[in-house]
């Protein structure tokens, strides 16, 4: 499985002109589905020339955590989770929310 981790490429703040998305994936057990959804979102974004940084909230905690700068410069935020995720850090930006299954099977949306 490829890892969606790593710093995002410049984008939403006008640098490079590419769309820049953020995502948070999480499932109740945080083992496989969290990472499957992250990988599918990363693949879908790459196939469309979109930069994406995905925070996974798995059984070992948050990995590749999104920081305030990420949120401030993002063009959009996707939360694909079937468990509670703190959305307060996205309050000023808003976000699209779905279950992890939607993100892992229909990432074109």
**Who's near 4: CB < 8 A, 6+ residues apart?**
38, 39, 41, 42, 52, 53, 54, 56, 64
Catalytic residue annotation: 27
C-alpha–C-alpha distance, residues 71 and 93, integer Å: 8
Burial 35-60 (b: 16+ CB within 10 A, else e): bbbbbbbbebbeeeebbbbbbbbbee
Determine the straight-line distance between the first and last CA of the chain, rounded to whole angstroms: 22
């Amino acid at each position: 499985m490829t890892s969606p981790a790593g710093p995002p490429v410049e984008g939403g703040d006008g640098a490079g002109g590419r769309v820049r998305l953020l995502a948070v994936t999480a499932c109740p057990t945080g083992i496989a589905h969290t990472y499957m959804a992250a990988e599918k979102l990363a693949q879908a974004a790459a196939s469309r020339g979109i930069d994406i940084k995905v925070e996974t909230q798995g059984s070992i905690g948050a990995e590749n955590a999104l920081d305030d700068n990420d949120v401030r410069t993002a063009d959009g935020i996707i939360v694909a989770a079937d468990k509670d995720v703190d959305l307060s850090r996205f309050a000023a930006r808003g976000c699209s929310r779905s279950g992890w299954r939607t993100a892992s099977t229909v990432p074109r949306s």
